[in-house]
Structure 1
Amino acid sequence: MTPSTPVQLSARAGDLLVLAPCLPRPDGDAASLRWFHLLRFLARHYRVHLGCRADPLRDGAQFSRVRALCHETCFAPPAGVRARLRPGAGGDAVLLDWAMRLCARQAVRAVLACGAGMGGHLAALPRGLVRVVDFVELESDRSRRHGAVRPWPGAALWRRQARRLLAAERAAGAACDHALFAGAADVARFRLFAPESAHKARLLPSGIDPEHYSPHIVQRSPFQPGERALVMAGPLDGPAGADAAHWLAHEVFAPLRAADPSLALYLVGPPLAAGADRRLRALARQPGVTLGGKAADARPYLAHAALVLAPPGAGHAASMAVLAAMAMQKTVLGLPHALAGLACLALPEAWAAADAPAFRARIGALLSGAEGSAATVGRAARARVLREHDWNLRLAGLPALFQAAPQPLASAG
């Protein structure tokens, strides 16, 4: 454990404890990025104390930025897969011990647990705290859906993981006062799979930082001279990411490339894991396809893309990728479910296509200008992000959740 020396901050509404499975990072994955913005926003209203798992080698550059937002911090070593599925093991016990001692010496009013794993600690904390869990997504449902389409024995492993995740999610739901989700579909699924906690589920959509994703920041082009790049920016790991990339490369891009050799497809996302799907790595051998998975920053790819393709899969990370592209004043094309939950669906700022032929036809129309000026569509996209998806707008009602617990739903009987 590496507790910090408390930082003297100006007076806030009270003390708030935040527990997270990783360091909330402005340059992290979709969940970590969301938790960073929650932490930064709450620091304006509370004196925040953060306990999380962190790797000094990986996260060291962000320590000072996160610590500046907090009165006190405690860092524990990162967890393995088993520890994430079994709250209370290893470093989690260290964080819980620190949290208990913090509550004994500070007038902590409320606690935010990031993810179901940290939500499992809430029951052990002192009474009287308002407890909030930010699930982001219902991970058990994602595993369940993977298990439904995978062959044996992989399907059995996915279903087993789904059961374990659901047990952790229900335990966290039972221990909290408010359960937050980034998408309306996950709110509905939580109410279905955890009916005892249905009245606690709340929608808190993620936003975007329009200053970070700004078209006015000069970015050096990562593309070859003369290329017209189609960019899919989003998660690539896992079965869903591999399926999406394979579909785009073979069903959509290959016929377009045959007709226009200047076209290139760049698949940009987090670094690929060592065990990434073989189909995904094989795409790098397809003419015109480049895996930009090692890119630390997707903004240069978005800034110079001729067209941005949304990952054809539902989920928080895919939604964040769409918002980032819109903030960069880009026309976005994706399958309808890739844009689910976003206000841009069926509006001029984003386009959808039902299948591969329609996708190819829409790409051709957008690149030729037949669908209207890309610059005009891009400006409208950024305007919508500023109007509806800025983090400050999304989080405006968050402090009110920490004031009181919800009332159970009235019985129909």
Structure 2
Amino acid sequence: MGDLLFLAHRIPYPPDKGDKIRSWNILKYVAARAPVHLCAFVDDPEDMKHEAFLASICKSVKLIPMDPKDRLKRAWAGWRKGEALSVSLFDDRAMKRWVWDRVKQNDIDRMFVFSSQMAPYALGHTSQDRRLVMDFVDIDSDKFAQYAKESRWPKSWLYAREAKLLQAYEKQVARHVDVSLFVSDAETAMFRRIAGSYAHSVDTLHNGVDLAYFSPDAAFAPLGDEAGPKLVFTGAMDYRPNIDAVCWFADAILPRVRKRYPQARFLVVGGKPSPEVQALAAREGIVVTGRVPDVRPYVAAADVAVAPVRIARGVQNKVLEAMAMARPVVATEAAWSGIDAAPERDLLVRRDAESFADAVCAVLDDPALAARLAGNGRQQVESRYAWNAQLAKLDGWLGLGAADSKVEAA
């Protein structure tokens, strides 16, 4: 077998946010089984320091910094051409040249593309002898359709435009690749309905959890034991669904909880908090941490891990990680959707602010309930969400060989 080209819209390491957790685990899995050429964009200059580590597990690595100054030019160029802006923002000459050189100079017979924005770089190199696996992860067009419904004009119009153009683009990509992957069975079924005959080969590649890392028994420095119940939310805090989630919780749910538990504190844990999220820190009972080196101390300290996500796609890693850490979880239906876990047994699922607050208080009221949810949640992810079990499907799709134990241990 030849080499494998791995393209990602964001550097897969460190795995400190949802998409990078998935891309890193996939990269590590395939790099242990095939020579990999990795090319990815970098949106955080701090992440460039990980290039040497990635080079230690890949045959070659190319990281391309995303210059914020170029975003407006690329968006304008895409607008003039009638393209989806999500795609035009990733149109880069250096990426095109590097991919062309890799394919020309190496025996690349497999390509794995992570996120639909990267598809144009691979579609120009398809052939009968080169297998192309496209990991859409989520249906981005449907996400923008949700944004359009939740927004006022002119944003609603812009989001609706993006949803329409992206849907047409996603269908064309699926038409030309060998396999289209999505993160949940619900996403897979929805795409089959949307794409029709274009979705000729579609399957689900579920997320997993690093059960040794996200374990209540793992070695990490505990969080200081401060008074009052801790309600913890983790996630990238420049991502619109997460911003909406924590603002809704702060406005509509936390006040109800604090009527019963005045010392309760809401910890918002995640990098790049938006101005709206930063403003929450001025409120009593709310802590906004920004980026932290390790989320586990915060999750482990949670009396309740909350996932009040109203705009959601795919699988919420924050829910899986909290369950793996044996913490009781209260989530919305949107946050729970796509996760193989039973409401009332493994976690509590609620629809509106009042019932969500009541569920949080119920867990705080009843240590036995908290312990039952925590234990059942951990047991469920152990039985259902080990990464290697999920990623074994890649062996057939990409023709992978035996694993290199040194890379697997990275």
Query: Which bin holds the TM-score, normalised by the shorter protein?
Result: 0.7 to 0.9
Task: For 1:112 and 1:223, locate their aligned partners in 2 and report how far apart those are by CA, in whole Å.
Answer: 43
Deviations 1:99-147 (A, max 9, x none): 3332233222210111112112222115221111111111111111111
Task: For 2:344 and 2:363, locate their aligned partners in 1 and report how far apart those are by CA, in whole Å.
Answer: 15
CA contact (8 A) 1:50 1:70 kept: yes
2:24 maps to 1:27:
no
How is 1:244-259 mapped onto 2 (pairs within 5 angstroms)?
244-259=245-260
Task: For 2:44 and 2:343, locate their aligned partners in 1 and report how far apart those are by CA, in whole Å.
Answer: 44
Q: 1:331 aligns with which of 307, 311, 328?
A: 328
SS of equivalent residue, structure 1 residue 300: helix
Q: Which position in structure 2 is the counterpart of 1:297?
A: 294
CA contact (8 A) 2:133 2:177 kept: yes
Paired AA for residue 377 in structure 1: L
Q: 1:77 aligns with which of 60, 65, 79?
A: 65
- Structure 1 residue 174 displacement after superposition: 2.6
CA contact (8 A) 1:182 1:204 kept: yes
Deviations 1:195-242 (A, max 9, x none): 242122211111111122121234445456212111122344354333
Tell me: CA distance 1:160–1:309, structure 2 relative to 1, closer, same or farther (3 Å). same
Task: For 2:95 and 2:260, locate their aligned partners in 1 and report how far apart those are by CA, in whole Å.
Answer: 57
Tell me: CA distance 1:259–1:350, structure 2 relative to 1, closer, same or farther (3 Å). closer
Q: Which position in structure 2 is the counterpart of 1:320?
A: 317
Task: For 1:320 and 1:69, locate their aligned partners in 2 and report how far apart those are by CA, in whole Å.
Answer: 25
Q: Which position in structure 2 is the counterpart of 1:156?
A: 157
Q: Which position in structure 2 is the counterpart of 1:115?
A: 115
CA contact (8 A) 2:329 2:348 kept: yes
SS of equivalent residue, structure 2 residue 91: coil
SS of equivalent residue, structure 1 residue 199: coil
- Structure 1 residue 355 displacement after superposition: 2.4
- Structure 1 residue 63 displacement after superposition: 1.6
Aligned length: 385
RMSD of Structure 2 on Structure 1 (CA): 2.5
2:352 maps to 1:355:
yes
Tell me: CA distance 1:290–1:318, structure 2 relative to 1, closer, same or farther (3 Å). farther
Tell me: CA distance 1:57–1:38, structure 2 relative to 1, closer, same or farther (3 Å). same
- Structure 1 residue 296 displacement after superposition: 4.1
Tell me: CA distance 1:244–1:318, structure 2 relative to 1, closer, same or farther (3 Å). farther
Q: Which has the higher contact order (CA 8 A, sep 6+)?
A: 2
- Structure 1 residue 35 displacement after superposition: 0.8
- Structure 1 residue 74 displacement after superposition: 2.1
Q: Which position in structure 2 is the counterpart of 1:46?
A: 34
Q: Which position in structure 2 is the counterpart of 1:392?
A: 388
How is 1:2-401 mapped onto 2 (pairs within 5 angstroms)?
13-54=1-42, 57-78=45-66, 80-81=70-71, 82=74, 85-86=87-88, 89-90=91-92, 93-127=93-127, 128-222=129-223, 225-273=226-274, 276=275, 278=276, 280-313=277-310, 315=312, 319-346=316-343, 348-369=345-366, 372-401=368-397
Q: Which position in structure 2 is the counterpart of 1:8?
A: none
CA contact (8 A) 2:229 2:264 kept: yes
Paired AA for residue 398 in structure 1: L
Q: After the TM superposition, which of the residue ranges 389-398 and 185-194 deviates more from structure 2?
A: 185-194
| Ranges in structure 2 where 5+ consecutive residues have no aligned partner | 76-85, 401-410
- Structure 1 residue 387 displacement after superposition: 1.5
Deviations 1:312-361 (A, max 9, x none): 23535861000010111111111222111111132522111232232222
Q: Which position in structure 2 is the counterpart of 1:7?
A: none
Deviations 1:229-266 (A, max 9, x none): 11122344354333322321232211221332221111
Q: Which position in structure 2 is the counterpart of 1:409?
A: none
Task: For 1:223 and 1:247, locate their aligned partners in 2 and report how far apart those are by CA, in whole Å.
Answer: 27
CA contact (8 A) 1:120 1:168 kept: no
CA contact (8 A) 1:25 1:62 kept: yes
- Structure 1 residue 156 displacement after superposition: 1.2
SS of equivalent residue, structure 2 residue 109: strand
Task: For 1:325 and 1:56, locate their aligned partners in 2 and report how far apart those are by CA, in whole Å.
Answer: 26
Task: For 1:75 and 1:232, locate their aligned partners in 2 and report how far apart those are by CA, in whole Å.
Answer: 31
Deviations 1:23-72 (A, max 9, x none): 11133321122111111101122111112223683213322221122112
CA contact (8 A) 2:143 2:313 kept: no
Tell me: CA distance 1:17–1:188, structure 2 relative to 1, closer, same or farther (3 Å). same
CA contact (8 A) 2:171 2:199 kept: no
Return structure 1 stretches of 4+ with deviation > 6 angstroms: none
TM superposition score normalised by structure 2? 0.86
Tell me: CA distance 1:246–1:314, structure 2 relative to 1, closer, same or farther (3 Å). closer
Tell me: CA distance 1:59–1:252, structure 2 relative to 1, closer, same or farther (3 Å). same
CA contact (8 A) 1:230 1:265 kept: yes
Task: For 2:372 and 2:117, locate their aligned partners in 1 and report how far apart those are by CA, in whole Å.
Answer: 44
CA contact (8 A) 2:331 2:349 kept: yes
The percent identity for this pair of structures is 26
CA contact (8 A) 2:146 2:311 kept: no
Task: For 1:266 and 1:75, locate their aligned partners in 2 and report how far apart those are by CA, in whole Å.
Answer: 33
